[in-house]
C-alpha cells in the first residue's frame, strides 16, 4: 500500500452545538485552502473547517447521515482495515474510520495505525481522537451545549468562547487558555455535547515490557518493521523526499525509500553558516544516487524563525524548539510544489540514542521516561512542514516500529560500545560503513542551533548559568504572544523578546 502525494486534509476546526451557531473563524499556521461544511446529526449540528492542500477535501470527511467523520492526516494500515471491513479499495481514510466505528464503536481507534487527528459526531456525542503518538495535535474546549475542537490551539483561541469551559480531570491544560485541553496521545475523548462532560478512553500506551531476542532475530524484526513503515508512507508513483543529515536514522529511511520507490528519491540537507553535516549527507546521497540538494541558512536568520517554530509547534519545551528550529527553516526554504517528506525523526526516543549511556538499567530507565513524557511536546507535529504546504511523516513513530523498538531489551540498543546498535546492524547491507558507524549527532548540534540560541541569550546579557532558564522563558513568551495572543510571528523581534526576558530576570 502506498499513499497519495498528500493527505486529503492537514488540519481541522469544528464546532458541535445544540442551538444555533455559526461556522467559526478559522486561523491556522498550516497553509492550505479552507473548506467549510455543516451537518445536522440528531440533536447536534457540526460546523467545520478543513484546511487542505488540494482543490477539494472530499476524502477528509465521510457521512452516512448518522455519523460524520472528519480526518486530518492519514492511515497506514489501510490494507488490513479493508480486509476486515470488506470496503471498496478506493474508500477514503475517513470512510474507513466510519466503517470501523460501525463495527467496533469507540474501540475503532485502537486498531488504527496512522498519523491523524479525527473527529466523529454521532447522536449527541462528539469523539475527538488522536493517533497512538498524538502526532497530529488535537485540542478541545467542551462547554455545555457547545464543543470546539481543532488541530491548532490558535484556531480555538480565534474561534472565541463566551464561557470559560469546564475543567477536565487528567487532561493537559493549555497554558494561559482556561478550559482548553489537549487530547492526550492514543486517546479518544468521548464528549456529550449537551453537558460538555468528557470521558477519556486510552487507545494506546507505550509498552513497558522488554523482549529478550537473539541478535539476528532482533535485527530482522527491526529491518522488516522499518521497511514496512517506509513503504506504507511512500507516495505511489511520485518521488518521495527524505530530509537527510547523514546520521543513521535518516540514512536508513533514505536507503529503504530508495529500495522501494519506483521513481527514485530526492534528498535534502540543511546547514548553517556556522555548522553543517553536508559531507556526511553527501556520502549517503552519492551511495544511493539520490537527487540531492543542500540549503544553507545564516544563523542570524535561523534565530529570527524562533517565533515561527513556537507558533507552528505550539510547544513550550525549549529543547524541542531547538530540535525543530532547523527543520522549520528547512521546510520554509524548500520552495517548489507541496511534497511528501519522510524524516528520520524520533528514532532516538525508543532506542535511547541521545543518552550516551552505557549502563543498561539507566538506559532503559531513560527510555521509559522519554516514552512517558513525549506527549504534549508536539515534536512530531505536521504543522512544522505544513506552514510551507508540505506533509511530513516519521516512519520510526509508526505504531508497529515504535512498539518493536521500544520493547527490545536495552542490551540490543546499546551493544559493543555502540548506541542504536540494532538499527545500525539492520542497515549494514544498505549503507556505507562510515554511515552505519557514525556516532549520533543531534540536529540542534549539527546545525549549531543550540550554540546560536545560547549566544543570543548571552548577548542579551544573561550569565552562563542562566542560559537554560532564559531559553525556557523566551519560549514561553513566544507561546504567549503567538499562540495565545494571536501575534503574527513575522511581527516579533527575537532580540527584543530575549532582551526583555533577561532584563526581567534582573529586576
Give the residue numbers of the binding site. Answer: 93
Known binding positions for L-glutamine:
93
d(C-alpha 16, C-alpha 94), whole Å: 18
CB of 328 vs ligand ATP, minimal distance in Å: 11
Q: In 348-401, which ranges are E strands? A: 391-393
Mask of contacts with ligand ATP, 239-278, x by CB under 6 A?
----xxx-xxxx------------------xxx-----x-
Give least dist CB 240 to ligand ATP, A: 12
Count CB atoms within 10 A of the CB of residue 62.
Answer: 21
Among Mg ion, ligand ATP, none, what does residue 345 contact (CB within 5–8 Å per kind)? Answer: ligand ATP
The answer to whether residue 364 forms part of the interface with ligand ATP (CB under 6 A) is no
Question: Per CB under 6 A, does 446 bind ligand ATP?
Answer: yes
Nearest distance from C-beta of residue 353 to Mg ion, angstroms: 6
CB of 251 to ligand ATP, least distance (A): 6
Q: Are 349 and 374 in contact (CB under 8 A)?
A: yes
Using CB under 6 A as the binding rule, whether residue 85 contacts ligand ATP is answered as: no
Catalytic entry in 143, 319, 379, 477: 379
DSSP assignment of 399-418 equals HHHHHHHHTB-HHHHSBTTB
User: Which does residue 243 bind out of Mg ion, ligand ATP, none, counting CB within 5 to 8 angstroms by kind?
Assistant: ligand ATP
How far, in Å, CA of 507 to CA of 263, rounded? 60
Sole window of 82-90, 124-132, 237-245, 368-376 interacting with ligand ATP (rule: CB under 6 A): 237-245
The burial of 212, by beta-carbon neighbours within 10 Å (0-12 exposed, 13-18 middle, 19 or more buried), is given as exposed
Residue 379 among the catalytic residues: yes
From 314, 440, 471, 477, active-site residue: 440
Cβ pair 414, 362 in contact under 8 A: no
- Residue 23: half-sphere exposure toward Cβ, Cα within 13 Å: 14
Supply 116's cell numbers.
491523524
Catalytic residue status for 323: no
Identify what 45 binds: Mg ion, ligand ATP, none; CB under 5 to 8 Å per kind.
Answer: none
Whether 479 and 306 have beta carbons less than 8 Å apart is answered as no
Residue 161 near residue 148, CB atoms below 8 Å: yes
The answer to whether 188 touches 105, Cβ cutoff 8 Å, is no
Residues 300 to 339 in contact with ligand ATP, rule: CB under 6 A: 327, 330
- Give the shortest CB-108-to-ligand ATP separation in angstroms: 31
List of residues contacting ligand ATP (CB under 6 A): 243-245, 247-250, 269-271, 277, 327, 330, 343-345, 348, 353, 440-443, 446-447
Amino acid at each position: 500500500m502506498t499513499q497519495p502525494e498528500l493527505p486529503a486534509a492537514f488540519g481541522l476546526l469544528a464546532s458541535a452545538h445544540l442551538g444555533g451557531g455559526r461556522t467559526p473563524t478559522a486561523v491556522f499556521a498550516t497553509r492550505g485552502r479552507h473548506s467549510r461544511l455543516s451537518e445536522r446529526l440528531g440533536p447536534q449540528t457540526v460546523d467545520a473547517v478543513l484546511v487542505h492542500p488540494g482543490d477539494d477535501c472530499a476524502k477528509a470527511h465521510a457521512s452516512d447521515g448518522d455519523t460524520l467523520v472528519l480526518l486530518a492526516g492519514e492511515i497506514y494500515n489501510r490494507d488490513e482495515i479493508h480486509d476486515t471491513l470488506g470496503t471498496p479499495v478506493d474508500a477514503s481514510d475517513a470512510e474507513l474510520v466510519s466503517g470501523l466505528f460501525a463495527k467496533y464503536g469507540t474501540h475503532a481507534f485502537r486498531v488504527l495505525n496512522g498519523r491523524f487527528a479525527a473527529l466523529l459526531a454521532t447522536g449527541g456525542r462528539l469523539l475527538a481522537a488522536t493517533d497512538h503518538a498524538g502526532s497530529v495535535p488535537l485540542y478541545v474546549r467542551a462547554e455545555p451545549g457547545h464543543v470546539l475542537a481543532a488541530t491548532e490551539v490558535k484556531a480555538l483561541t480565534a474561534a472565541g468562547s463566551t464561557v470559560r469551559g469546564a475543567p477536565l480531570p487528567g487532561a493537559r491544560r493549555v497554558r494561559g487558555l482556561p478550559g482548553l485541553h489537549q487530547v492526550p496521545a492514543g486517546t479518544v475523548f468521548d464528549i456529550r455535547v449537551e453537558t460538555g462532560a468528557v470521558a477519556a478512553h486510552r487507545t494506546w500506551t507505550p509498552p513497558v515490557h522488554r523482549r529478550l531476542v537473539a541478535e539476528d532475530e532482533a535485527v530482522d524484526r527491526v529491518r522488516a518493521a522499518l521497511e514496512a513503515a517506509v513503504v506504507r508512507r511512500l507516495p505511489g508513483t511520485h518521488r518521495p523526499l527524505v530530509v537527510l543529515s547523514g546520521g543513521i536514522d535518516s540514512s536508513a529511511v533514505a536507503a529503504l525509500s530508495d529500495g522501494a520507490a519506483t521513481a527514485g528519491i530526492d534528498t535534502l540537507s540543511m546547514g548553517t553558516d556556522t555548522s553543517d553535516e553536508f559531507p556526511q549527507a553527501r556520502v549517503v546521497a552519492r551511495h544511493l544516487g539520490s537527487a540531492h540538494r543542500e540549503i544553507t541558512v545564516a544563523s542570524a536568520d535561523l534565530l529570527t524563525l524562533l517565533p515561527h517554530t513556537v507558533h507552528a509547534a505550539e510547544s513550550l519545551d525549549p529543547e524541542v524548539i531547538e530540535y525543530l528550529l532547523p527543520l522549520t527553516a528547512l521546510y520554509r526554504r524548500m520552495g517548489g510544489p507541496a511534497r511528501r517528506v519522510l524524516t528520520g525523526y524520533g528514532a532516538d526516543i525508543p532506542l535511547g540514542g541521545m543518552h550516551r549511556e552505557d549502563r543498561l538499567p539507566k538506559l532503559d530507565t531513560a527510555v521509559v521516561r522519554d516514552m512517558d513524557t513525549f506527549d504534549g511536546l508536539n515534536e512530531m507535529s505536521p504543522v512544522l512542514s505544513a506552514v510551507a504546504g508540505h506533509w511530513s511523516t516519521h516512519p520510526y513513530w509508526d505504531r508497529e516500529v515504535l512498539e518493536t523498538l521500544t520493547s527490545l531489551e536495552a542490551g540490543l540498543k546499546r551493544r559493543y560500545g555502540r548506541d542504536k546498535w540494532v538499527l545500525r546492524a539492520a542497515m549494514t547491507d544498505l549503507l556505507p560503513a562510515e554511515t552505519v558507524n557514525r556516532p549520533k549527532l543531534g540536529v540542534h548540534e549539527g546545525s549549531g542551533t543550540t550554540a546560536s540560541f545560547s549566544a543570543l541569550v548571552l548577548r542579551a546579557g544573561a550569565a552562563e548559568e542562566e542560559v537554560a532558564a532564559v531559553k525556557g522563558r523566551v519560549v514561553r513568551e513566544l507561546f504567549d504572544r503567538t499562540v495565545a495572543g494571536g501575534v503574527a510571528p513575522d511581527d516579533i523581534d527575537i532580540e527584543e523578546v530575549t532582551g526583555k526576558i533577561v532584563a526581567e530576570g534582573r529586576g
